């Protein structure tokens, strides 16, 4: 029987630290539910003490999923650890994940601690956490640059203190695979009580070696791998879940391990994340990129026609990539719509189905053909379960070579006293800018467009345009991403901006809620 590798997904915590990839509570819950379908073993949902929003997100995820362990991150002090416990205690299986740097450069330059002081702090943190909860993980931050003798000393002491999982991260993406293999082997061979804990890996991609290092660590005996969907994360990102999992599956006889991941859910999970954060994967991205299963060269096409195994080491179906393209039209009914979604692998409740069907019928009235890509967009938008503060009721523009671009928008604002309709007009250098100026006036949330991108979701002249914007709002230090889709690009552009406005409103409200409280912003 193959050895089981636990998959620890940190998309909601470390992945969210990637610029422009932050998520609100509803979005985190939607993605967590999909991660549960993917069958990950652990979901790291956030850093509870960082803010009220992070605390509430971890708590919400803990309550929303039942099978995976839900972990929260904390620094190695009692205040952080207890706040983490308050959030994860709501899970059927909760975990406190605490950490402290162990490399000399971090100890001296950042923490101003000796090795002895760090060891004492780490042991104290684990013992305190174990008094609150059974499942405690400890990370030796910057393990990749930590002295081996000291590392083994710390690992042994932390296992004795009660840590069930010891994470040895390559925090800055510095190591190379052979070096990382030797590091894990050293710990596995030299720590006498190593059999009482699971060794975990958390590799960053600064040199493009995160997946390679993770695979090397698994070969060396690690039992848990920490990764993110699409490889998102701070700086150059984290080890990509889909690449690790499919490497282990495709080369199963070589590695001799299993993950238990339902690989047919990989594609849907990747698409949902992209829909939520507004960041698409590069076309040549391994496993989930648009070109991952494309074959253009003549000799490749000839080989594929003879036997797909000539140039295809895994099948599109193995990651849940839809096989059919053209599916439905405006005369298709609810039953056919539901059947096609089930065929694509989506399971949604009656309320979500009805909402998606209404959007489908509206789209089908405007398009001759509705493709699977269109359906994915409809369903993923619904799965986000985003509760809008503002909705777009109308947008109209006038523009031309000798006309000043002008836009008129009508916004429905949700307030304590019900709905309010607000209509504003504005001018701009173009119709999109004019619409955005009008929305700024209607919502009272001034924003500046930093990035604008539009792409066709499917084929044909009537293809749905998927618009992604990144906006800088006053009072927020991070860009806010918005997405909108429509067969009318101007309409889709307005929807994307409204999406960003709603996210900004949530963050600004949360920021006001945090005011006056001591909020720790430090992230590893």
Give domain status of residue 286, yes or no: no
State the residue for tokens 């096989």: 323
Which pLDDT does position 459 carry in this prediction?
A: 64
Mean pLDDT for the stretch of residues 90-114: 97
Query: Are the CB atoms for 76 and 522 separated by under 8 Å?
Result: no
Give domain status of residue 524, yes or no: no
**In which domain, by residue range, is 298 found?**
294-321
Which pLDDT does position 522 carry in this prediction?
A: 41
What is the residue-wise DSSP string for 11-35?
A: TTTTGGGSTT----HHHHHHHHHHH
| Token pair for 250 | 């495709």
Identify whether residues 505 and 483 lie together within a single domain: yes
Q: Give how far Cα 28 sits from Cα of 151, 443, 449, Å.
A: 34, 25, 25
Which pLDDT does position 307 carry in this prediction?
A: 57
Give domain status of residue 79, yes or no: yes
Closest CA to 165 of 202, 130, 137, 193: 137
Top mean pLDDT of 379-393, 426-440, 493-507 is at 426-440
pTM of the model: 0.80
Identify whether residues 238 and 377 lie together within a single domain: no
Measured N-to-C along each axis, helices 334-343 and 372-383 cross at an angle, to the nearest 10 degrees, of 90
Give domain status of residue 282, yes or no: no
Identify whether residues 121 and 218 lie together within a single domain: yes
Identify whether residues 42 and 189 lie together within a single domain: yes
pLDDT at residue 352 tops 70:
yes
Q: pLDDT band at 378, cuts 50/70/90?
A: confident
pLDDT at residue 300 tops 60:
no
d(CA 382, CA 357): 11
Give domain status of residue 517, yes or no: no
pLDDT at residue 164 tops 80:
yes
Identify whether residues 361 and 431 lie together within a single domain: no
pLDDT at residue 301 tops 50:
no
Percentage of residues in the chain with pLDDT exceeding 90? 60
Which pLDDT does position 370 carry in this prediction?
A: 74
pLDDT tens by residue, 130-157: 999 999 999 999 999 999 999 999 999 9
Q: Give how far Cα 400 sits from Cα of 280, 430, 494, Å.
A: 32, 9, 19
| Token pair for 34 | 């999909």
The more confidently predicted of residues 459 and 297 is 459
Give domain status of residue 45, yes or no: yes
pLDDT tens by residue, 30-60: 999 999 999 999 999 999 999 898 999 999 9
Lowest mean pLDDT among 290-304, 309-323, 330-344: 290-304
Identify whether residues 216 and 130 lie together within a single domain: yes
Q: What is the DSSP letter of 107?
A: I
Alpha helices in 258-314 (DSSP H): 266-277, 298-306
pLDDT tens by residue, 226-275: 999 999 999 999 999 999 999 999 999 999 999 999 999 999 999 899 88
Identify whether residues 126 and 8 lie together within a single domain: yes
Closest CA to 193 of 155, 167, 140, 143: 155
Q: How many domains does one find in the chain?
A: 4
Query: Are the CB atoms for 124 and 79 separated by under 8 Å?
Result: no
Which pLDDT does position 347 carry in this prediction?
A: 72
Identify whether residues 346 and 471 lie together within a single domain: no
Mean pLDDT for the stretch of residues 376-403: 78
Identify whether residues 136 and 176 lie together within a single domain: yes
Identify whether residues 121 and 197 lie together within a single domain: yes
Mean pLDDT for the stretch of residues 402-415: 91
Q: What CATH number has the domain bearing residue 121?
A: 3.20.20.70
Give domain status of residue 518, yes or no: no
Lowest mean pLDDT among 184-193, 249-258, 342-351: 342-351
Which pLDDT does position 296 carry in this prediction?
A: 46
pLDDT at residue 427 tops 80:
yes
The more confidently predicted of residues 3 and 356 is 3
Identify whether residues 247 and 309 lie together within a single domain: no
Which pLDDT does position 465 carry in this prediction?
A: 78
Identify whether residues 114 and 229 lie together within a single domain: yes
Give domain status of residue 285, yes or no: no
pLDDT at residue 199 tops 50:
yes
The more confidently predicted of residues 369 and 22 is 22
| Token pair for 163 | 């840590």
Domain boundary among 277, 310, 344: 277
Which pLDDT does position 304 carry in this prediction?
A: 42
Q: Give how far Cα 308 sits from Cα of 279, 291, 294, 303, Å.
A: 31, 16, 12, 7
Q: What CATH number has the domain bearing residue 457?
A: 3.30.160.270
pLDDT at residue 515 tops 60:
no
Average pLDDT of the chain, as a whole number: 88
Which pLDDT does position 3 carry in this prediction?
A: 96
pLDDT tens by residue, 429-471: 999 999 999 999 999 998 999 999 888 776 666 677 788 899 9
Domain boundary among 332, 352, 383: 383
Which pLDDT does position 367 carry in this prediction?
A: 65
């Amino acid at each position: 029987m193959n050895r089981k590798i636990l998959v620890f997904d940190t998309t909601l915590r470390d992945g969210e630290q990637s610029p422009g990839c932050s998520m609100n509570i509803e979005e985190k819950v939607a993605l967590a539910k999909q991660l549960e379908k993917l069958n990950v073993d652990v979901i790291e949902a956030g850093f509870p003490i960082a803010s009220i929003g992070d605390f509430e997100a971890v708590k919400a995820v803990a309550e929303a999923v039942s099978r995976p362990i839900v972990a929260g991150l904390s620094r190695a002090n009692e205040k952080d650890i207890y706040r983490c416990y308050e959030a994860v205690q709501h899970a059927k299986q909760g975990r406190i994940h605490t950490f402290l740097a162990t490399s000399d450069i971090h100890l001296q330059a950042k923490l101003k601690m000796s090795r002895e002081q760090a060891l004492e702090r780490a042991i104290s943190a684990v013992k305190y956490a174990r008094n609150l909860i059974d499942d405690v993980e400890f990370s030796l931050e910057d393990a990749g640059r930590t002295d081996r003798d000291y590392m083994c000393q710390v690992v042994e002491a932390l296992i004795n203190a009660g840590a069930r999982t010891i994470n040895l991260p390559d925090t800055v993406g510095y190591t190379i695979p052979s070096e990382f293999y030797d590091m894990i082997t050293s710990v596995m061979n030299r720590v006498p009580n190593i059999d009482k804990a699971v060794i975990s890996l958390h590799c960053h991609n600064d040199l493009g070696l995160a997946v390679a290092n993770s695979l090397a660590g698994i070969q060396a005996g690690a039992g848990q791998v920490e990764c993110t969907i699409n490889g998102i994360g701070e700086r150059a990102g984290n080890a990509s879940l889909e690449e690790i999992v499919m490497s282990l599956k495709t080369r199963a006889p070589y590695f001799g391990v299993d993950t238990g991941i339902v690989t047919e859910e990989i594609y849907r999970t990747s698409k949902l994340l992209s829909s939520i954060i507004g960041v698409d994967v590069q076309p040549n991205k391994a496993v989930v990129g648009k070109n991952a299963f494309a074959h253009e060269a003549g000799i490749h096409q000839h080989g594929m026609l003879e036997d797909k195994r000539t140039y295809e080491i895994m099948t599109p179906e193995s990651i849940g990539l839809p096989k059919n393209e053209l599916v439905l039209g405006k005369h298709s009914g609810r039953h056919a719509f539901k059947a096609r979604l089930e065929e694509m692998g989506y399971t949604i409740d009656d309320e979500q189905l009805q909402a998606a069907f209404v959007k489908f019928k509206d789209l089908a009235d405007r398009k001759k053909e509705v493709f699977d890509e269109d359906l994915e967009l409809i369903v993923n938008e619904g799965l986000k379960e985003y509760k809008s503060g503002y909705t777009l009721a109308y947008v109209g523009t006038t523009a031309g070579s000798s006309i000043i671009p002008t836009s008129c928008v009508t916004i429905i604002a949700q307030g304590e006293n019900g709905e309010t309709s607000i209509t504003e007009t504005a001018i701009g250098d173009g119709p999109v800018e004019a619409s955005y100026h009008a929305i700024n006036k209607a919502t009272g949330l001034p924003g500046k467009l930093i990035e604008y991108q539009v792409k066709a979701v499917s084929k044909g002249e009537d293809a749905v345009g998927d618009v992604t914007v990144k906006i800088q709002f006053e009072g927020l230090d991070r860009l806010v991403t918005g997405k909108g889709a429509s067969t009318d690009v101007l309409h889709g552009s307005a929807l994307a901006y409204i999406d960003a406005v709603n996210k900004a409103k949530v963050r600004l409200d949360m920021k006001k809620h945090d005011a006056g409280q001591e909020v720790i912003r430090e992230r590893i």
